[in-house]
Amino acid sequence: MTVFFKKTAEQRGVFTMTSDEIQKIAPPALPLSFLSEFMADGRTPARAMTDEAMLKFLPALAGTGAILELGAGSDYYKKFMSSDQPYVTSNVVPGFDMVLDMTKIDLPDGSVDALVSVFALEHLFDFDAAFKEQYRVLTPGGRLLLVVPFMYYYHAAPDDFFRFSSSALDKLLSPFKVLSRQSIGGRWLIFAEFLHEKKAMGSKLGYFARVALRCLALPFLAKGLKESDPRYALAFVYLCEKERAG
């Protein structure tokens, strides 16, 4: 797999979406049809809204270069992209395309065209090292798509250490040029998320109790389908670029 990431200046990828087009990307919103999915115990509101954000922002990484996802949980988001473009998943544990430690990425400087990190940095105690490593391995002009939680529940994998405000992210990402920053969700979506008890996520409530809670959550969810509020965001999505020298 490392063959995708050993590049000369002539081999660097070219993105099809321009910076101006990226800045016009609208905040993620859920369709009205998600209400029925929610009542059927489908995706959680946070997952669904994150999926909408990824559908909007992943095309900004489309082009001639390879994409490397750091801290991937599966190949879930790989399926969002064209199979014609190399999309490599990685984690610190086996079972992925590559085994990589986000705090010590075993790749050369400036060797990666595009990076993706979704709900991964909160699981790293030394997150500052991970930000520096992402900057180091990106090629000049390369892009980073980052999604991190803010007002989101504790989820150990195996540990869950931090939450990131937009102010903190602005400072941590200051070496990059931020092309777009957006909030995922708001206060009403938070209420719906908290009331979505899923057996697959460890809920000990019975079936009818879980249905009752989803019914209770439905008005909040309906109000929050298109909400994007940085004060009560479930997560933040940033699309950044490593500026070219000179």
Report the CATH number at residue 67.
3.40.50.150
Contact call for residues 114 and 13 (beta carbons, < 8 A):
yes
- Report which of 92, 94, 93, 96 is spatially closest to residue 77, judged by C-alpha positions: 96
Q: Is residue 209 part of a domain?
A: no
Q: Is residue 221 part of a domain?
A: no
Q: Is residue 204 part of a domain?
A: no
Domain range spanning residue 111? 2-30+44-186+233-241
Q: Is residue 194 part of a domain?
A: no
Q: Is residue 67 part of a domain?
A: yes
Model pLDDT for residues 203-246, shown as the tens digit of each residue? 999 999 999 999 999 999 999 999 999 999 999 999 999 998 76
Q: Is residue 117 part of a domain?
A: yes
User: pTM for this one?
Assistant: 0.94
Provide the pLDDT for residue 51: 98
Q: Is 3 exposed, middle or buried (0-12, 13-18, 19+ CB in 10 A)?
A: exposed
Residue 11: pLDDT over 80? no
Provide the pLDDT for residue 246: 61
Provide the pLDDT for residue 6: 62
Contact call for residues 213 and 197 (beta carbons, < 8 A):
yes
Q: Is residue 224 part of a domain?
A: no
Provide the pLDDT for residue 241: 97
Model pLDDT for residues 49-62, shown as the tens digit of each residue? 999 999 999 999 99
Work out how many domains the chain is built from and give that number.
Answer: 1
Provide the pLDDT for residue 200: 85
